[in-house]
A = this chain, B = another copy of it.
């Protein structure tokens, strides 16, 4: 049986209309599915309103206790529950969750050396059997926010791309899994200046070459690392593109095993 795991980021969540378009397309996807959402800028705006200073080390944000509280309010609260209510209105039986819920995703707090990122978790395990029961027996569509826990009472901020990849990999034991990363571009670009230069198929060797030539940089690297990890671990297909790719219309990038 097929399972679609779809990840959306801030660029979809932050715009009411885009979110509505996406949720309609997602609700219309046939068969079993899981949604994973990031948070977007709302958490930063809220932290600002509450006078919680943004702590950065080496250009990367640190999750101190106050920031974790804000993230938990927005990701697991406002964003997650509004997505769930909207999907329910579209006849999609969504159920919102974090990795702490039913102990579905257990993480390990990232070590504080060399850089202390605060309450950030790296995924240790996924309870794929429980998720399978939710999907098959309860006919539920899980909607995951970007939070997990350490099993000792501590919530942990966890990268949404990594959550989507870990879910796809673990569910590949039971299903033919396709993983979809919806983001702000139509796909991986050969030339960042030209939005039409989409690489339609990319294998690991091509990825390495493009990285060496500095054509793929920054945030695209961890995203593609997640993609190739998933393909290596028996995920059937991985796609990167705009939210419109879910409707089958647009050109996008598909990750393929080495030819």
B-facing mask of A76-101, CB < 8 A → 1, else 0?
Answer: 11101110111011000111111011
- Distance (Å) between the CB of A146 and the closest chain B CB? 12
Contact assessment for B149 and A138 in the assembled complex, using a CB-CB cutoff below 8 Å = no
Q: Are B138 and A89 in contact (CB under 8 A)?
A: no
Q: How many copies does the complex hold?
A: 2
Cross-chain contact of A103 among B76, B82, B88, B103 (Cβ < 8 A): B88
Asked whether A202 is an interface residue with its Cβ less than 8 Å from the other chain, the reply is no
User: Out of B81, B95, B97, which one reaches A72, CB within 8 Å?
Assistant: B81
- CB of A43 to closest CB in B, whole Å: 11
Residues of B within 8 A of A69 (CB): 78
Minimal beta-carbon separation of A89 from chain B (angstroms) = 4
Interface centre among A96, A103, A130, A152 (most CB of B within 10 A): A103
Interface residues on A, range: 35 or more
Contact of A101 among B72, B77, B84, B100 (CB under 8 A): B84
Cβ distance A63 to chain B, nearest Cβ, rounded Å: 14
Supposing A69-B78, A72-B78 touch, asked if A153 and B100 sit within 8 A by C-beta, the answer is: no
Q: How far is the CA of A75 from the CA of B73 in the complex (A)?
A: 8
Residue-by-residue, is A100-136 near B (CB-CB < 8 Å gives 1, otherwise 0)?
1111000000000000000000000000001001100
A216 interface contact, C-beta 8 A: no
Residue A230 interfacial (CB < 8 Å): no
Which residues on the B side are within 8 Å of A72 (C-beta)? Answer: 77-78, 81-82
* A241 to B: closest C-beta gap in Å: 26
Complex CA gap A84/B77 in Å reads 13
Any chain B CB within 8 A of the CB of A214? no
- Closest Cβ neighbor of A86 among chain B residues: B153
Instruction: Determine whether A140 belongs to the interface, using a CB cutoff of 8 Å to chain B.
Output: yes
Mind listing 27 A-B residue pairs with CB under 8 Å?
Answer: A69-B78, A72-B81, A73-B74, A76-B76, A76-B77, A76-B78, A76-B80, A77-B78, A81-B98, A81-B101, A81-B147, A84-B98, A84-B100, A85-B149, A85-B154, A85-B155, A86-B153, A88-B149, A89-B153, A93-B103, A95-B97, A95-B101, A96-B101, A97-B101, A102-B140, A137-B137, A138-B138
Residues of A whose CB lies within 8 Å of any CB of B are 49-50, 69, 72-78, 80-82, 84-86, 88-89, 93-98, 100-103, 130, 133-134, 137-138, 140, 147, 149, 151-155
